[in-house]
Structure 1
């Protein structure tokens, strides 16, 4: 079994930075300190003569609408269910429990924060897709980060080659970035919502990894004794 202690400190550092970023954003948002920059960024993605129309060709808008579903619950639940199912039938019960626990708990925390903070959706531009919950933090950004980074961590545990691990991590980060940017382009989230979602999802995936690593290390010590 691979010694994971050498990766603990970098992951811990990522978790601390992500948590700090989320807390700072939450405080600044509560005092409306991001409104000016949020509005500027939202307007950047719209036609100045018609704010209902996003920049770029028509096909780009449709492409972004489809890409944003990569962070929606139907796609994420389907993906996680398929992965967990594979882990269960292959007898890897520990990783299956880790995956379900990390993602379900992340979903609960994200939903609770939306309910507590209750930030309204942006009204500066027209929404290009329907929304049903509060704005902060972005659920799509949070859960795409939590899910894709958690799955990346799961795969990284199973491979030794650095280039493979780097590729998996980059793909997870890219998917998370695409989902978050799609929410801004579609006008359904303030940019600060997305930044907070990325921070929260990254923190949750990192903390989940640290929790599992700690348990594995404790079990190794028990067996050694």
Structure 2
């Protein structure tokens, strides 16, 4: 039974000093009938108090996590509506501080962060966010193609040593998969090869040919 923000947990102590939780409507009758061996019959209608506490804590944790996720999403959307440029970057950094060490990063939160960073061309933050996600046991990067796409896109734009090779390592298996592939993914592969060709002062003919084929 709940009253306001409190949950009432009725319980009884058996003659063997075991503590059970059950519905308050049963409490009076059970207390009056309690005998030394009666607790053997309590299983179907009562629950050990510690098990009841575990149930309540799980419900509270789930509700708290859901509220936190919705709060983060609302903050990201509000930031994108109110800020641009450096102001948006600062606001996103503040939001990131709240979630980096908390394993509540659902796909919708991640995508909203990635899109926000893309809007301000903060490609380094995209790369660092995805590489942070890879360290979380609850986040499987391989199952999130949209995240991988934005990761490869950011690597290509950031263009630190090895970034474009890593971007191709991500994208090539995706475009060669047997399933349906979005046209944007083919375009990104072609773009990466084109950028590699341009950066070589037009000497990397292999990248030129690969870019043309995609």
> Structure 1 or 2: larger helix share?
1
- Structure with larger RCO (C-alpha < 8 A, sep 6+): 1
TM, length-normalised to structure 2: 0.22
Q: Taking structure 1 as the reference length, what is the TM-score of the superposition?
A: 0.21
State which structure, 1 or 2, has the greater radius of gyration over its C-alpha atoms: 2
